Structure 1
Amino acid sequence: MRVTSGTFRGRLLRMPHGIRPTQDRVRKSLFDVLGKDVADRRVLDLFAGSGALGVEALSRGAVSALFVDEDAGVVRTILANLADLGLMEKQAKGPHPPPSPSLSVYGEGGGIKGLSSRLGEGEVALHPSPSTFARVEVWRADYRRAVRRIKGEGRAFDLVLLDPPYREGLLPEALWALTGAGGVAPSGLVVAEAEARLLAPEVNGLTLIDERTYGGTKLMFWVKRETVGA
C-alpha cells in the first residue's frame, strides 16, 4: 500500500495482519473529493487500521492527526508507519511492563508527553519527532473509550475519518457517540467507508452531502450543521 498524493506520495505503508485495507483507488478518490478541504484540518482517524487515511490527510496538509485503534498489533503498525515517515522517532528497545487494558496514549496530547502506557516487553516505543511539521497522536482504545476521553478533554475535529469493520454494525453507534460528545467541530467534515449496500445513517447534527460507490465499497460524506440561534 502506498500514499497516493501530497508530501508522502509514493511512500510505502506497512499493513497489519488480518486488516481489510482501503483500496488505493478508493482512498485517492476520497481525498480527491475533499480536495483542498484537508489542509489545516485537525483530523481524527477512528478505527485507524494501518493509519493510511490519517497519513493521507497529513500528506495533504492536515495540521494534526489522532489515530485510534483497539488492537495492540495494529497500533504497533501505525507507530511503525509514522516512524518510517519521520512523524515519530524510535526509542531504544528495553524491558517494559505488559500492556495496560486501559487507554494507551503515544505521542503528545491531552497533557501527556511521550509514551504514557507501554506496549509490552521489548517493544519499540516511539515519540513525536522534533522536526515533525504536524502534531501526531496514537491511542490504543476502543472507540467508546476514545470518545469519552475526547469529550473529557473538550476536543473537536475538523475532519473525521471512519472505517469500522464492515460486518460489526459499528458505524451508526460510533457516529452518534462522537457527535454527542461534541467531537466534530462546527462545519467539520465526517467521512465513512462502509459496504456499498449500507444506507447512510441519519445522525443528529450531521447533514449527508455526498455518497460515492466503488464496487463493493461506499464512501459517505457529512458536514456538521451550524447551531442556529443564540
Structure 2
Amino acid sequence: MSKGSAKQGQLRIIGGEWRSRKVSFIDAEGLRPTPDRVRETLFNWLAPYIEGAAVLDLFAGSGALSLEALSRGAVSATILDINHQVISNLKSQLQILNCQRATLINQSALLFLQKQATKQFDVVFLDPPFRKDMLQQACQLLADNGWLANKAWVYTESEIMPSQLLMPTNWQLYREKKAGQVYYSLWLSQ
C-alpha cells in the first residue's frame, strides 16, 4: 500500500490536556482501536495512577491508549508497533499535538521484550492481534525481564476470559469487563 493510499479513521481523546481532540489513524489489517466507552472505563480505573506514569504501549495500532495516557498526564510513553505506516502516522499525530514525551519504536513487541529492561514502566498496554498467541508470551517477558516497576498496572485486551489466561504468578486481576467479543482487564503486578 502506498503512503497516500492508506484509509484513515478517527478517534477522540476523551480526557485531559487534549480532551475532545480528534486524531487520525490508518486502517491497517487487524487494527482494532479501543472504543471510547472502553477507554473511558480503563482510565477511570487508572485515574489515581496515570499522572506521572511511565507508559509502555506494546501493540500500539491507533495509539488511542498511549495518546489518552499522555493527555491525562503520563510523563512519558514508549510506543511500539511492527507496522511502519502505523508508527509514521503516530509520529504525525504527536507532532500535531506538539507532544515530545513519546518514543516511537518500529519493532515487534515480543522481540523488544526479549532483552533485559533498560527502563521500568508503571503502566503497560497490551492489545495484541487476536488468535496469534502473543498476549501470554508478552506478559511473561514483561515479568521475566524486569520491564515492570513495583506495583505496575498492566491492561490487556483478549478474546479469552481473563480467568483463563496464564498470567505471571505475581499478577493479581484487579478489574475485568467485556465489550462485544473483547475481554478487557487490568492487572496489578506485585
Q: TM-score, normalised by structure 2?
A: 0.87
Amino acid at match of 1:47: F
The percent identity for this pair of structures is: 34
Describe the superposition over 1:106-157 as per-residue Cα deviations: whole angstroms up to 9, x where unpaired.
xxxxxxxxxxxxxxxxxxxxxx4xxxxxx310001001222145x252x110
Distance 1:4 1:196, change over 3 A: farther
SS at match of 1:204: coil
Match of 2:121 in 1: 157
Alignment partner of 1:9 is 2:41: no
What is aligned with 2:43?
A: 31
* Offset from partner CA, 1:79-119 (integer Å, 9 cap, x none): 111111111xxxxxxxxxxxxxxxxxxxxxxxxxxxxxxxx
TM-score, L = length of structure 1: 0.73
Match of 2:6 in 1: none
Q: Which has the higher strand share?
A: 2
Per the TM alignment, residue 211 of structure 1 is displaced from its structure 2 partner at its CA by 1.1
With over 3 angstroms needed to count, the CA separation of the structure-2 counterparts of 1:152 and 1:41, relative to structure 1, is closer
1:66 corresponds to which of 74, 78, 101: 78
Relative distance call for 1:27 and 1:169 in structure 2 (3 A) is same
Contact 1:207 1:222 in 2 (8 A): yes
Return the alpha-carbon distance in structure 2 between the equivalents of residues 196 and 147 of structure 1.
Answer: 22
- TM-superposed CA distance for 1:224, in Å, is 1.4
- Structure 1 residues 196 and 2, CA gap change in structure 2 (3 angstroms): farther
Task: Spell out the pairing of 1:80-99 with structure 2 (5 A cutoff).
Answer: 80-87=92-99
How many angstroms apart in 2 are the aligned matches of 1:185 and 1:215? 32
CA contact (8 A) 1:13 1:50 kept: no
Unaligned runs of 5+ in 1: 88-127, 129-134, 226-230
Q: 4+ residue stretches of structure 1 with deviation over 6 A?
A: none
Alpha-carbon distance between aligned partners in 2 of 1:175 and 1:31, rounded to the nearest angstrom: 20
Q: Would you say 1:138 and 2:104 are equivalent positions?
A: yes
In 1, Cα distance between equivalents of 2:165 and 2:176: 8
- For the 8 Å contact 1:16–1:73, the answer to whether it is kept is yes
- Whose Rg is larger? 1
SS in 2 for 1:222: strand
Cα offset for 1:75? 0.7
Paired residue total: 177
Moved more, 191-200 or 22-31: 191-200
**Where does the alignment leave 5 or more consecutive residues of structure 2 unmatched?**
1-10
